[in-house]
Amino acid sequence: AQSVTQLDSQVPVFEEAPVELRCNYSSSVSVYLFWYVQYPNQGLQLLLKYLSGSTLVKGINGFEAEFNKSQTSFHLRKPSVHISDTAEYFCAVSGLTGGFKTIFGAGTRLFVKA
Amino acid sequence: GAVVSQHPSWVICKSGTSVKIECRSLDFQATTMFWYRQFPKQSLMLMATSNEGSKATYEQGVEKDKFLINHASLTLSTLTVTSAHPEDSSFYICSADLGQGYNEQFFGPGTRLTVL
């Protein structure tokens, strides 16, 4: 079975500071990894995804993530955050197990302070 | 890009009534759609996988008679919450799959259900 662990439920950070949101997964098969952002009362927006190839993935809004197979991690990073980045961020995994169903982590609330 | 819509965006109903939520893929055909439920400040929980022309596959613990799913066409799936009660109040989100080879789901904007 697949699972996703987001290690931080909340991450407060000052504007223009760097941020890292942590995500670890477990799976017995090859996986596809995703990061989504959710603003209040809205659906999910895809930030970036790892399917194969280069382990460093660049996404929208200046975010990037690195797939580390040995550490089973897919941490999300941004070198300089803005107030508008305040939102809920979800790490997700899908794979051959369960017919490509997507399993979501519990989410990390990023709160950017002025 | 692939766009998924949901209707309504929010609904308030009385306890005991049934509510239907629509999920549409606007610019692509979706063989498979997924329905999620999200409680406040929590993650998305997969409720069921909806396949066009066949019965939905429900996750463990989800009552299929309570949450009726119909996927009658390649662009429309509906979720009907039957005899709704206050504990069914939640944010319901659907997603659609482009099919094999794409490995990505596209999410609708969600429907906020409040049962009084």
Q: What's CA B42's distance to the chain center, in Å?
A: 17
Mean pLDDT of A74-87: 96
pLDDT at A54 over 60: yes
**Residue whose C-alpha is closest to residue A6's, from A26, A22, A27:** A22
**Residue whose C-alpha is closest to residue A3's, from A98, A109, A108, A77:** A98
For position A96, what pLDDT does the model report?
58
List the end-to-end C-alpha distance of chain B, in Å, as a whole number. Answer: 37
A2-6, A37-41, B64-68 — most confident range:
B64-68
Chain A residues within an 8 Å CB radius of B97: 100
Q: Which of B89, B105, B111, B112 is the best substitution to test chain A (most A C-beta atoms within 10 A)? A: B105
Helices H, strands E: what count in chain A? 0, 12
pLDDT at A44 over 70: yes
In contact, B8 and B112? CB cutoff 8 Å: no
- Split at pLDDT 50, 70, 90, the class of A78 is very high
For position A97, what pLDDT does the model report?
56
List the end-to-end C-alpha distance of chain A, in Å, as a whole number. Answer: 41
**Residue whose C-alpha is closest to residue A75's, from A102, A45, A39, A108:** A108
Mean pLDDT of A27-54: 87
In contact, B28 and B77? CB cutoff 8 Å: no
Output Rg (C-alpha) for chain B, integer angstroms: 13
Cβ of B34 and A49 within 8 Å? Answer: no
The closest CB to that of B107, out of A43, A51, A103, belongs to A43
pLDDT at A51 over 90: no
Cα–Cα distance measured from residue B33 to residue B70, given in angstroms and rounded to the nearest whole number: 10
pLDDT at A28 over 80: no
Chain B positions with Cβ closer than 8 Å to A:
6, 34, 41-44, 46, 49, 91, 93, 95, 97, 103-105, 107-110, 112
Residues of chain B with pLDDT under 50: none
What residue in B sits closest to A4 (Cα-Cα)?
Answer: B43
Q: Which amino acid is residue A105, in one-letter code?
A: G
In chain A, % of residues over pLDDT 90: 69
For position B51, what pLDDT does the model report?
86
In the A/B pair of chains, how many CB contacts fall below 8 A?
A: 46
